[in-house]
Chains A and B, each alone.
Chain A
């Protein structure tokens, strides 16, 4: 099959690799229908995640069709159209039983690596370095999904592939970001970054009763979508002083809640402003200040 392989910082290549096979009874093999690029893939590409190896297949946000199931798979059937959670949980350990799936202490075959570095271990993640298990990722024609009955969710008929794929990673991430922000009915919510995560945070903010959401980005297409599809007001951080604009839009008060959906690869225009000092030298001033009571 074809797969997108990491070969070093900034070096991804599509390569011909063997097809995945069932390795454990609870595994399933999926034909990948959609595999989206998460902002976190940039961390791999930019070399921020240690224990990546040349030849690793990346990708962790995906949906597909079940083509084969192991002997221990009870619920899934061949032909099921499913969306798969990025993070692997066994369902049996204390953490999984406690619904803290991301802490599963059975799903990471390389648990000893993060244990050495952090003193504890995270669950396995598809296509996300050997410290997170070294599982082959979804930017490929086929993928092996361990604990398939738990990680695969059958997509209801009528829901298009493009909508369902969000449930793999961006939806829970953005959803939880808004939940953690403790949004109250009527709040004005500012959300930085309009990628998959930002889009989902906006949806959740409105569901929680936000009266207005202000989306901040600089990509014209994204800003257009934020307005037309997500129903947010928008700010282009490459054109306006976000701090001032937010105050202006909220009667000088600032938004009630702020959510960062940009992450590590933030471009600096929105964070740092160059200003002329009196002596004429250019200085960089960090222009992030708290604009809300709770962040």
Chain B
């Protein structure tokens, strides 16, 4: 595990940000599951509503 890998630093930052959101507001801000005109997202509401959300998700799962 390379602690100084910039991508890794970014992931930690994302997680800290989420932790701060949870502490301060009691919830983690999200758009996952909201509507859009993208047909691929309309099949199932479990799918990410954007590839940015997917990227957020990757940042998250890398830490789990």
Query: What is the interface of chain A, defined by CB distance below 8 A to chain B?
Result: 1, 3, 5, 7, 13, 15, 17-21, 23-26, 51, 53-57, 72, 90-93, 106-113, 124, 130, 133-136, 140, 144, 146-147
Contacts and interface: CB of A to CB of B under 8 A. Distances in A.
Contact of B42 (A18, A54, A93, A113): A18
A144 B27 CA distance: 15
Contacts of B56: 109-110, 112
Contacts of A93: 20, 24-25
B42 to A, nearest CB: 6
Interface centre among B10, B13, B25, B52 (most CB of A within 10 A): B25
Given A106-B25, A109-B56, A112-B14, A136 B30 contact: no
B33 to A, nearest CB: 5
Contacts of A3: 35, 37
Q: Identify the 8 closest CB pairs spanning chains A and B, nearest first.
A: A5-B37, A55-B38, A55-B37, A92-B24, A17-B35, A15-B37, A24-B27, A55-B36
A124 B36 contact: no
Chain A contact residues, majority secondary structure: loop
Nearest to B22: A106
A113 B45 contact: no
Contacts of B32: 23
B31 to A, nearest CB: 5
Interface of B: 10, 13-14, 17, 20-21, 24-39, 41-42, 45, 49-53, 56, 59
Contacts of B37: 3, 5, 7, 13, 15, 17, 54-57
A69 to B, nearest CB: 14
A44 to B, nearest CB: 14
Nearest to B36: A55
A112 B14 CA distance: 8
Given A54-B38, A55-B37, A24 B45 contact: no
A110 B42 contact: no
A24 B30 contact: yes
Contacts of B33: 21, 23
Interface centre among A24, A109, A136, A146 (most CB of B within 10 A): A109
B52 A111 contact: no
A54 B35 CA distance: 13
Given A25-B27, A72-B27, A109 B53 contact: yes
A113 B52 contact: yes
B52 A130 contact: yes
Given A17-B42, A24-B29, A113-B52, A106 B34 contact: no
A134 B53 contact: yes
Nearest to B28: A24
B45 A136 contact: no
Contacts of A133: 29, 31
Given A92-B24, A134-B53, A57 B36 contact: yes
Contacts of B13: 112
Interface centre among B10, B26, B36 (most CB of A within 10 A): B36
Given A17-B37, A90-B21, A109-B31, 6 more contacts: A7-B37, A15-B37, A93-B25, A106-B24, A112-B56, A134-B49
B52 A51 contact: yes
A5 B41 CA distance: 14
